[in-house]
């Protein structure tokens, strides 16, 4: 008999947790933005990365063209890739297209937001307000949850540092 109350308590906890996770989803036009996060940066770091998932539920493409935040002097949309064992990063001058019915994930080692000229270190547990600018959806406010240095996903703590712009990339991969 003690098992049933525990199962019910766990089910209730799971429902509350999934509801709170969805509460941070941001809808802008046909776009749904989820899992917005960044990594903590060491004192003195001047650059950081921003990560999120964008789903286009519409019938026409949209494009993430830029971003801005009080914490950074400038935000650009970047792509990181490996070419013959060499990590390359470049700004996407024309932005990042989100095709209709598709989901684009910005994460370590791939597409990401590059935050330049950080005014303060990003501290684990904080939230960083960022304004994204889309070609069609316009300006959209999101909040990046600051995860641990080296995190590979929200709530994750992989200290490999792949694609980490906080000053301690894994040089063996380059």
Q: CA 144 to CA 65: how far, in whole Å?
A: 18
Can you give the pLDDT at residue 151?
Answer: 85
| Token pair listed for 68 | 């801005």
The half-sphere exposure of 48 on its side-chain side, counting CA atoms within 13 A, is 35
Can you give the pLDDT at residue 161?
Answer: 37
5 Cα distance to chain centroid: 37
In the chain, beta strands by DSSP E: 26-28, 31-39, 48-56, 62-68, 74-83, 86-91, 96-98, 103-106, 111-116, 127-134, 138-147
pLDDT, tens digit only, all 174 positions of the chain: 555 545 444 444 344 333 333 447 999 999 999 999 999 999 999 999 999 999 999 999 999 999 999 999 999 999 998 889 888 999 999 999 999 999 999 999 899 999 999 999 999 999 999 999 999 999 999 999 999 988 888 865 443 333 333 333 333 333
Helices (H) and strands (E) in the chain, counts: 1, 11
Can you give the pLDDT at residue 2?
Answer: 59
Can you give the pLDDT at residue 164?
Answer: 39
Measure the N-to-C terminal CA separation of the chain; round to a whole number of Å: 57
Can you give the pLDDT at residue 76?
Answer: 96
Q: CA 18 to CA 137: how far, in whole Å?
A: 26
Can you give the pLDDT at residue 153?
Answer: 80
Can you give the pLDDT at residue 78?
Answer: 96
Please write the tens of the pLDDT for every residue from 20-64: 334 479 999 999 999 999 999 999 999 999 999 999 999 999 999
Which residue(s) pair with 144 in the sheet? Answer: 128
Can you give the pLDDT at residue 6?
Answer: 54
25 touches 18 (CB < 8 A):
no
Can you give the pLDDT at residue 81?
Answer: 86
Can you give the pLDDT at residue 56?
Answer: 98
50 touches 64 (CB < 8 A):
no
Give the dihedral sign, CA 137/142/165/154.
negative
Can you give the pLDDT at residue 168?
Answer: 33
């Amino acid at each position: 008999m003690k098992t049933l109350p525990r199962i019910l308590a766990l089910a209730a906890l799971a429902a509350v947790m999934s509801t709170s996770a969805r509460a941070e989803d941001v809808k802008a036009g046909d776009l749904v933005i989820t899992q917005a996060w960044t990594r903590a940066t060491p004192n003195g770091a001047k650059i950081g990365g921003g990560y999120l998932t964008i789903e286009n539920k519409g019938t026409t493409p949209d494009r993430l063209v830029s971003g801005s935040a009080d914490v950074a002097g400038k935000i650009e949309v970047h792509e990181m890739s490996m070419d013959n064992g060499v990590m390359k990063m470049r700004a996407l001058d024309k932005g990042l297209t989100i095709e209709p019915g598709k989901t684009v994930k910005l994460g370590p080692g791939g597409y990401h937001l590059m935050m330049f000229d950080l005014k303060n270190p990003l501290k684990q547990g904080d939230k960083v307000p960022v304004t994204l600018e889309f070609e069609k959806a316009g300006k959209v406010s999101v909040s990046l949850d600051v995860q641990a240095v080296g995190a590979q996903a929200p709530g994750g703590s992989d200290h490999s540092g792949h694609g980490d712009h906080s000053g301690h990339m894994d040089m063996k991969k380059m």
